[in-house]
Amino acid sequence: MTKMKLKVLPYELTVCKVAAPEEIDMKGELFFIGKTDGEVSLVCETAAAPEKTLERSDGWRGMRVEGTLDFSLVGVLAGLTAALAERGIPVFAVSTYDTDYLLVKVDQLENAAAALTAAGYAFC
């Protein structure tokens, strides 16, 4: 079975808890918003992160699974995260309707790419 292809996103990302959701810049190329009864979380390009945050973690890079993933596929994230877990690389995962994204800290990007390549994944 051919493994999926991944693409490294060309910018740094920030993961944060937002104090004022109205300050979120929705014009950026990439952002994810999660809202629960206890928080509003945001993943976005670091340059577009709001100034006012409750908590913030900078220095992330993203990898996108290329193509559209069918909802019947099983174990996509499990395969990716298992390869990274074997090397002790923490991840932050986000999914969209079409595909999945894995975020790793900038200083772990090369190690993550090597782990995923060794597991049979390709980068484009």
Q: pTM (2 decimals)?
A: 0.87
pLDDT at site 1: 43
Please report the pLDDT score of residue 97 as a whole number.
86
Domains plus CATH for the chain? 5-123 (3.30.2130.10)
Task: Using alpha carbons, select from 123, 27, 7, 11 the residue that is nearest to residue 59.
Answer: 11
What pLDDT, on a 0 to 100 scale, did the predictor assign at position 57? 98
Give dist(CA 103, CA 30) in Å, integer: 13
Q: How far apart are CA 20 and CA 74, in angstroms?
A: 37
With a CB cutoff of 8 Å and minimum separation 6, the contacts of 53 are 16, 17, 18, 19
* Positions in the chain short of pLDDT 50: 1
